[in-house]
Amino acid sequence: MKTIIIPIILLIAAMVFIIWSGIAVDNSLKGLIEQTKDLPDTPNENTLKLIEDIEKHWNKHKELYSAVIKFDFIYNFSKEISAAKAGVNAEDTGTYLAAKKSLLNILEYIRDVQKLRIDNLI
Amino acid sequence: MYTLFFRTIITYILLVGAMRFMGKRQLGELELSELVITMLLSELASIPIADNTIPLTFSLIPIIILISLEIIISYLVIKSRKVKKFIGGSPSIIISKGKLCKKEMEKDRLSLDELMSQLRLKDISDISDVEYAILEENGQISVIPKTHAKTVTLSDLNIYKTEKGIIHTIIADGQISDFNLQIIGRNRKWLFNQLKKRKIRLCDVFLFSVDDAGNVNIVKNGETK
A44 vs B88: which has the higher pLDDT:
A44
Write the CB contacts of B166 (distance below 8 Å, at least 6 apart in sequence).
Answer: B211, B212
Choose from B51, B65, B69, B77 for mutation: most chain A CBs within 10 A. B65
Tens digits of residue pLDDT in B96-125: 988 999 998 998 888 989 899 989 998 888
Query: Which of B53, B71, B72 is nearest residue A70 as measured by Cβ atoms?
Result: B53
Largest CA distance in chain A: 68
> How many domains are there within chain B?
3
User: For position A122, what pLDDT does the model report?
Assistant: 55
- B55 and B103 share a domain? no
Tell me which chain B residue has its CA closest to the CA of residue A4.
Answer: B72
User: For position B173, what pLDDT does the model report?
Assistant: 81
Write the CB contacts of B179 (distance below 8 Å, at least 6 apart in sequence).
Answer: none
**How many contiguous H segments (helices) and E segments (strands) does chain B have?**
8, 8
Residue B13 lies inside a defined structural domain of this protein: yes
- B47 and B79 share a domain? yes
User: For position B24, what pLDDT does the model report?
Assistant: 59
Strand B141-145 and strand B175-176: the pairing is unpaired
Q: Does B30 touch chain A (CB under 8 A)?
A: no
Task: Residue B98: name the closest of B120, B128, B125, B141 by CA.
Answer: B128
Tens digits of residue pLDDT in A14-72: 889 888 888 888 888 888 898 888 888 888 888 888 999 999 988 888 888 888 888 88
Residue B203 lies inside a defined structural domain of this protein: yes
- B80 and B100 share a domain? no
Residue B58: pLDDT above 90? Answer: no
Query: CA B95 to CA B88: how far, in whole Å?
Result: 21
The helix (H) or strand (E) run that includes residue B147 is none
All residues of chain B having their beta carbon less than 8 Å from the beta carbon of residue A62 are none
**Quick one: chain B helix, strand, coil %, rounded to 5?**
55, 15, 30
Domain range for B178: 167-223
**H-only helix segments in chain A:** 2-37, 47-60, 62-68, 71-89, 93-121
User: For position B221, what pLDDT does the model report?
Assistant: 83
List, as ranges, residues 43-72 from B with C-beta within 8 Å of A: 52-55, 57, 61, 64-65, 67-69, 71-72
Residue B120 lies inside a defined structural domain of this protein: yes
Q: What is the CATH number of the domain that holds B218?
A: 3.30.240.20
Write the CB contacts of B212 (distance below 8 Å, at least 6 apart in sequence).
Answer: B163, B164, B165, B166, B168, B184
> How many domains are there within chain A?
1
Q: Do A10 and B67 touch (CB under 8 A)?
A: yes
Find the mean pLDDT for residues B128-132: 91
As a three-state string, the secondary structure of A95-122 is: HHHHHHHHHHHHHHHHHHHHHHHHHHHC
Task: Give the neighbor-by-neighbor strand order of the sheet with B205-211.
Answer: B175-176, B167-172, B205-211, B216-220
Write the CB contacts of B15 (distance below 8 Å, at least 6 apart in sequence).
Answer: B41, B45, B63
Query: CA B77 to CA B106: how far, in whole Å?
Result: 27
User: For position A102, what pLDDT does the model report?
Assistant: 92
Domain range for A11: 2-121
Task: Residue B97: name the closest of B61, B133, B142, B137 by CA.
Answer: B133
User: For position B144, what pLDDT does the model report?
Assistant: 92
* Percentage of residues of chain B with pLDDT beyond 70: 94
- Could you count the other beta carbons within 10 Å of the beta carbon of residue B141? 21
Query: Which of A3, A14, A68 is nearest residue B64 as measured by Cβ atoms?
Result: A14
Phi, psi of B45, rounded to the nearest 5 degrees: -65, -30
All residues of chain A having their beta carbon less than 8 Å from the beta carbon of residue B66 are none
* Percentage of residues of chain B with pLDDT beyond 90: 22
Over chain B, what is the mean pLDDT? 85
* The residue type at B219: V
Q: Do A70 and B72 touch (CB under 8 A)?
A: no
Residue B206: pLDDT above 70? Answer: yes
User: For position B207, what pLDDT does the model report?
Assistant: 92
Choose from B54, B66, B72 for mutation: most chain A CBs within 10 A. B72
Find the mean pLDDT for residues A95-107: 91
Residue B159: pLDDT above 60? Answer: yes
Find the mean pLDDT for residues B133-146: 88
pTM of the model: 0.66
User: For position B25, what pLDDT does the model report?
Assistant: 56
Residue B28: pLDDT above 60? Answer: no
Residue B157 lies inside a defined structural domain of this protein: no
CA distance A61 to chain B (A): 15
* Percentage of residues of chain A with pLDDT beyond 90: 16
Which of B58, B86, B114 is the endpoint of a domain?
Answer: B86
Query: CA A52 to CA A57: how far, in whole Å?
Result: 9
B168 vs A18: which has the higher pLDDT:
B168
All residues of chain A having their beta carbon less than 8 Å from the beta carbon of residue B72 are 4, 7-8, 11
